Amino acid sequence: MKAAAGFSIAVVLAGVWIGVAPFVVGYAPGSGSPLTGAVSMSVGMGLAVALAGLIGLVGFSGGRLGELQRALQNLSLAERDKVAADIEAKESTTGSKDPSIRLEPAAMDEDDSAPHDTEAKLQALVERVLQDYHNTGSQSSRG
């Protein structure tokens, strides 16, 4: 993966060199003179090569950002699994349910008297459990 980024950067630098080389080495005509076909072609090719390198670098960076986003989502799921395992372990050792975790009855909609979306309620419960878990963990680490 690092090789792809390094290669893209090398291509950009090569393109820049191709574009500016006629001016650096003195091949281009002096100031005020029109550019020759060879110099124009060198500048154009340098821009094309540098642009190709930039496209590769942006594509590589986008892929890495996607991997990072997926990793963060997986970390979040792993953290939720850890919290659930900790709660189960705590309940099995104490033999009682944690009173801070209460399942409340489903709220009813005003218009159709049906329970709210189960997935949304589950998400809210998980968020509350995570918040309580983090609060409990931070308080115990301070003591």
Do 106 and 66 reside in the same domain of the chain?
no
Domain containing 87 equals 1-27+35-97
Do 91 and 110 reside in the same domain of the chain?
no
Give the pTM. Answer: 0.47
Structural contact between residues 12 and 50, judged by C-beta atoms closer than 8 angstroms: yes
Helix (H, G, I), strand (E, B) or coil at 115: strand
Gyration radius of the chain's alpha carbons: 30
Do 77 and 128 reside in the same domain of the chain?
no
Do 45 and 2 reside in the same domain of the chain?
yes
Do 10 and 77 reside in the same domain of the chain?
yes
Do 68 and 18 reside in the same domain of the chain?
yes
As for how many domains the chain has, the answer is 2
Do 57 and 104 reside in the same domain of the chain?
no
**Burial call 76-91: b when 16+ CB within 10 Å, e when fewer:** eeeeeeebeeebeeee
Residue range 38-64, pLDDT digits in tens: 888 999 999 999 999 999 999 888 888
pLDDT tens for the 143 residues of the chain, in order? 678 888 999 999 999 999 999 888 887 777 777 778 888 899 999 999 999 999 999 988 888 888 878 877 777 777 777 777 777 777 777 665 655 554 444 454 455 444 456 667 677 777 777 777 667 655 544 44
